[in-house]
Structure 1
Amino acid sequence: MNQSPYPAVEAGPPRPSLILRPGQMALPAGMERYHVRGNGAVLIDVEAGDTISVRNVEGGQACELLAWDKTGATDAGIFGEKSNSNAAGIKALLADGDDSLAALRLGLQRRQVQL
């Protein structure tokens, strides 16, 4: 009876490791997925013809979508909607000074976005 604390080793050359991500499905060509943590934000370039879908998988989370035209002016019409907010959520996040939003701040500055 083999009582070795080590797993059995198969003879032969090494095999490449497999990356296993259970439940993660490959996205169709041309589709992108972004995960935004709670109290976070993401900046995504959207072009004419793009479709946007927002899913709140955890439930109960507020979501604020903002769109800017090429001049940096806020324009909810890009989503085919009327504005119903003054961007209070993103303004509060940026005022907080959280270092995790540094890339977002730089992206907004680079695009000359006016909040």
Structure 2
Amino acid sequence: MSDLYGSPEKFGLETIGEVDFSSGSYEFDLTVVWRRQFDGAFVYGEDAGCSCPSPFEDFGVDGLTRITSLEAFKAHLATRMAETYYGLNRSDEVARLLERLHGEGLR
């Protein structure tokens, strides 16, 4: 079992931010962005489940996806938001995450 979400530093990662697309009732549906410490690249992972498992407990760093551009990641998040089962609007969370990534130098 991995503790990628709770202790990213053990995997050479720094958490940049996240968006939770769940309804918040004993479940999670996360998109989390980390920066790899060895090369400064931004990577993300997505995981969903009930409150029983921990987020990303079955993930390792090899299961993360590199963010190649801010525009491509913005489009990905827009798709995630459109596909959210509950129709919840997470545009504020998405905007904060994209602003942080831009501030961190992702173009």
TM-score by structure 1 length?
0.29
Of Structure 1 and Structure 2, the greater strand share is in 2
Of Structure 1 and Structure 2, the greater helix share is in 2
